[in-house]
Amino acid sequence: MRLFRFFVISAVVIFLVGPLLVVGVASLNANQFLDFPVTEFSGKWYGALLTDPQWRASVSNSLKIAVPGAGLAVLIALPMAYALHQWRPRFSGVFMALGVLPFMLPPVISAVGALVLWNEIGRPGQIENVIIAHGVFFSTVPLITISLGLAGIDPSIQEAATTLGADGRRRFFTVTFPLLVPSIVTGYVAAFVLSLNEYIIAFMVAGFTVETLPIKIFNSLRYGFTPTIAAVSIVFTGISLGVLTMLARFGSLERLLGAGISDT
């Protein structure tokens, strides 16, 4: 069993990390073209990333979408999760399904949907369209983290607040909300990172006018390999890793992912 466990875990780690190591090596290759073994190392492609106005524009576009997009996702999810938890209305399953469905269906469906919608409205290709599409698509993520967070709050704490005379609003802002902050932050950050990396919706909704980073990577890939692509991939992986490590410090990652929470 030990051997089996060792085999499974190392196979998974190699499978998941291996490709990124290759990309990492490629990003440090001084040569413009790929060669093996690498003859000379250099960090110049990372520098190119910072100075090239096109890459910088795509980073800024991605941020302009991900920051408000993830915010919108939380704004959709928080009231919904709270209302469903607090009042348990009839058919709450239907509302939950509506909230979870966008993320469960293949994203290309949301992408065509948003494309058709904005064509119909007559404002195709705007950056706001991508923000809204991402906000709706990724609202599932904070909805789940916040619902899990609400389920983890001891009801007696809220009851205590009521007994002490707090009305619904006061109870929410002084008791529930502060306890929910980790779940909200997790939901926001996860939606933010996912939005930053999202390709197909951004591409179909406004890909020809707003070039986000994944779109830029893909467009450059079509013209062949450049080490800059490798460098930008590594930077992005680094950002994800950093953000997730921070989350792990901030709260219990295991709990946030649903460990030890009963399904009743």
Partner 1 sequence: MTVVETPADTVELTEPVIHDEDGPGMSWSGRIMLMVPTLVLAVFFLGPFALMLRTSFYRRIQGGFYEPAFVLESWSRLGSDFYIDRALFSLRICLFVAAVTVMFAFPFTWFLTRMKARYQVPLLIMILAALTLSEVIVAFAWDLILGRASGISNIMVWLGLMSEPQSYTPGYWAVCIGLAYIAFPYCVLTLYPALSRIDRELTEASETLGASPLRTFFNVVVPLSRTNLVAAFLMVFVFTLGSYIIGQVLGRPEHWTLSVFISDQATYNSNVPFAAAIAMFLTAVSLAIVGVTTWLGSRQGRARQKAVAV
How many Cβ atoms from other residues are within 10 Å of residue 158's Cβ? Answer: 18
Of residues 64-123, which lie at the interface with partner 1 (CB under 8 A)?
A: 75-77, 79-80, 82-84, 86-91, 94-95, 97-99, 101-102, 104-117, 119-120
Dist. CA 226–CA 31, nearest whole Å:
10
Least distance (Å) between residue 163 CB and partner 1: 15
Of residues 138-177, which lie at the interface with partner 1 (CB under 8 A)?
A: 139, 168-169
SS3 29: strand
Residue with Cβ nearer partner 1 (57 or 219): 219
Dist. CA 59–CA 77, nearest whole Å:
26
Least distance (Å) between residue 14 CB and partner 1: 11
Least distance (Å) between residue 23 CB and partner 1: 5
For residue 54 the two structure tokens come to 């096109």
Nearest 10 degrees: CA dihedral of 107, 108, 112, 114? 20
Residue with Cβ nearer partner 1 (50 or 108): 108
Least distance (Å) between residue 196 CB and partner 1: 8
Among 36, 39, 156, 223, binds partner 1 (CB under 8 A): 36
Cβ atoms 187, 141 nearer than 8 A? yes
Cβ atoms 35, 29 nearer than 8 A? yes
Which amino acid, residue 197? N
Of residues 182-241, which lie at the interface with partner 1 (CB under 8 A)?
A: 190, 193-194, 196-200, 203-204, 207, 213-214, 217-218, 221, 225, 229-230, 233, 236-237, 240-241
Residue with Cβ nearer partner 1 (179 or 197): 197
Q: Which stretch binds partner 1 (CB under 8 A): 28-36, 51-59, 63-71, 150-158?
A: 28-36
Given its phi and psi angles, is residue 226 left (phi above 0), alpha (psi -120 to 50 degrees) or beta? beta
Cβ atoms 143, 81 nearer than 8 A? yes
Cβ atoms 211, 57 nearer than 8 A? yes
Number of chain positions touching partner 1 (CB under 8 A)? 104
Least distance (Å) between residue 64 CB and partner 1: 17
Residue with Cβ nearer partner 1 (19 or 178): 19
- The owner of tokens 């006061």 is 170
Cβ atoms 220, 204 nearer than 8 A? no
Of residues 39-58, which lie at the interface with partner 1 (CB under 8 A)?
A: none
Least distance (Å) between residue 210 CB and partner 1: 14
